[in-house]
């Protein structure tokens, strides 16, 4: 790893194609998030391939238009003298080639792969898509959830009050249900929970079923307040 500021900046610039590829690939991948090691290996590999392709472009351009490119022979013979004499020219070409490599990686990230068939482009949290953005035809905006708790022992039902709209699907996300809230036992027995709200973490849920447009009891004088589905 570089131990100077200049080395760190150069390292970050050279890794830019891989970083752009990885970041854009996440938007189009429907598979699980890879490990940190796999992501690092991907960044390094994509950066090397993209920069190698950009170098080939420079060599081809030098063969056909030598007057327009920096002096590669002089760089090979006396690198310090050549860089000192033609620093601005080399800087412009390096910036252009880095931009070309990054643009190529950005385009490659959009390429469809076998596991992408039928995948949704995720620009938002899937909770936000399911709870709010796919509720265009429901009208009322009230969202009713049935949450099966892990272990298959019980389920919880209630109206969605608020939820965590972070993009990452982590177990730290949470949501808030508003009354009336029901606990459903495995045998189907239902009992109402004496509470105005119920907080739940994603780690406690096995699966969640979502019903849009259900009338809220508050509209007819029942318990519960106004449902806010804007997310937190």
Which residue, 66, 51, 139, is CA-closest to 102?
A: 51
Which of helix, strand or coil describes residue 218?
Answer: helix
What six digits make up the tokens of 149? 């708790």
CA-to-CA dists, residue 143 to 39, 130, 229, angstroms: 37, 10, 8
Mean pLDDT computed over every residue of the chain = 76
Sequence-distant (6+) residues with CB within 8 A of 191 are 182, 183, 185
Q: Which is more confident, 189 or 152?
A: 189
Q: How confident is the model at residue 231 (pLDDT cuts 50, 70, 90)?
A: very low
Which domains does the chain show, CATH number per domain?
A: 5-116 (no CATH), 126-220 (2.30.30.100)
Question: Which residue(s) pair with 128 in the sheet?
Answer: none
> How confident is the model at residue 219, as a pLDDT?
56
Whether the CB-CB separation of 131 and 211 falls below 8 Å is answered with: no
Residues 6 or more apart in contact with residue 225 via CB below 8 angstroms? 161, 178, 196, 218
DSSP string, 121-180: --SS-HHHIIIIIT-TTTSS--EEEEEEETTSS-EEEEEEEEE---SS--TT-EEEEEEE
pLDDT tens digits, 123-164: 556 676 777 655 555 455 578 888 888 877 788 888 888 777
Tokens 């590999």 belong to 45
Give the pLDDT mean for 172-186. 83
Q: Return the percentage of the chain with pLDDT > 90, whole number.
A: 15
Give the C-alpha separation, 88 to 214, whole Å.
66
pLDDT of residue 223: 41
Q: Which of 117, 109, 98 is nearest to 13 (CA)?
A: 98
């Amino acid at each position: 790893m570089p131990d100077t500021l200049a080395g760190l900046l150069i390292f970050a610039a050279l890794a830019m194609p891989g970083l752009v590829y990885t970041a854009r690939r996440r938007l189009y991948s429907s598979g699980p998030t890879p490990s940190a090691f796999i992501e690092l290996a991907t960044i390094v590999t994509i950066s090397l391939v993209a920069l190698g392709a950009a170098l080939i472009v420079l060599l081809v351009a030098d063969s056909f238009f030598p007057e327009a490119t920096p002096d590669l022979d002089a760089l090979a013979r006396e690198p310090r003298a050549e860089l000192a004499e033609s620093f601005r020219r080399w800087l412009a070409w390096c910036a252009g080639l880095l931009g070309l490599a990054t643009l190529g990686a950005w385009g490659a990230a959009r390429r469809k792969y076998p596991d992408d068939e039928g995948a949704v482009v995720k620009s938002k949290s899937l909770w936000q898509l399911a709870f709010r953005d796919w509720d265009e035809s429901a009208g009322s905006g009230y969202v009713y959830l049935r949450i099966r708790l892990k272990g298959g022992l019980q389920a919880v039902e209630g109206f969605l009050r608020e939820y965590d709209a972070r993009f990452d699907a982590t177990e730290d996300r949470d949501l808030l249900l508003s009354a009336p809230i029901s606990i459903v036992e495995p045998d189907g027995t239902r009992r109402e929970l004496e509470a105005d709200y119920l907080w739940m973490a994603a780690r406690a849920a096995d699966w969640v079923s979502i019903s849009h447009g259900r009338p809220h009891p508050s509209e007819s004088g029942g318990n519960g307040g106004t449902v806010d589905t804007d997310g937190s």
